[in-house]
Amino acid sequence: MMNAKTIRYILYALIIVFCIVAIGLGVYAQFFIKEPVQDGYGNNISAGGNIVTPQDVNQSFMDLFTNEFYSNYDDTNIAKADDTKELVYTFYEDNQNVDGKYSMNIHIPVINIQSDVVTGFNNLTQSIFVDKINSVMAGTDVYTIYNLDYTSYVNNNILSLAIKATIKEGDNPQRVIVQTYNYNLETDESVTLKSLLKDRDIDETVVENRIKTVVQNASKNANELINSGYTVYQRNENDEMYQIDNINNFIEGPNGELYIIFAYGNNNYTSEMDIIEI
């Protein structure tokens, strides 16, 4: 049998081990677990205590568009349309200027998977972006500047692709158009925001409140500019587009961060966007 002194030493050792584990978990939580900490204005607060404003989030999102595909996913069992290419690649690129007509710098991506779902994605890219390029090159009545870029990632088994077009036609305000695709490589299905939030165990109410806060603050700022005589895009805070079930524009970033994109230039002459990072 162990004597009292031995038992005491064992208890001391267990206490020390427990303290070391607790400290380790605390350090891990501080530096590696992303908590949705916010200030009183709905801005995110980084792990270092810095306030991350909507402008910071927008810039981080814009910086993603490098016309590259990033992935460590083993695509051996994926049926590709072209076995020599990656799952996403630049199908066509061009940079040209025609005096008095247009200036274009374009990088058109294609998802390289044999799938009806993916075919639908690629057809949508054709109708939204490529048809416009063809129209511009065929000749327009006004000088047009057209820039097209993309970014694409695989997180776990979800492939995300975002395409961004910047268009300036004559005297019209500049438009920024964003189209995203999210595809489950294992189930051959289009991924919805609702299903993604569920899989990541993210409360929809938290996301909805975050969207509401960002949009309300942006709307308030816009109204102040309008009252000062500026012409800016006005948001309808009650629009059903802000409801989770109606949101189709989102992408998982390089580190799994989730960007929800409201690109108002998709349907209007504006470059205004609200980007919510989760």
7-41, pLDDT tens digit by residue? Answer: 455 545 544 544 443 444 343 333 333 444 444 44
In this prediction, residue 21 carries a pLDDT of 38
Distance of CA 254 to the CA centre of its chain: 10
155-175, pLDDT tens digit by residue? Answer: 999 999 999 999 999 999 999
In this prediction, residue 12 carries a pLDDT of 55
In this prediction, residue 17 carries a pLDDT of 43
In this prediction, residue 231 carries a pLDDT of 87
How many angstroms separate the CA atoms of 222 and 231, rounded? Answer: 9
In this prediction, residue 52 carries a pLDDT of 79
Using 70 as the pLDDT threshold, list the residues of the chain that sit under it: 1-50
Is this structure's pTM higher than 0.85? no
In this prediction, residue 241 carries a pLDDT of 96
In this prediction, residue 40 carries a pLDDT of 45
In this prediction, residue 69 carries a pLDDT of 97
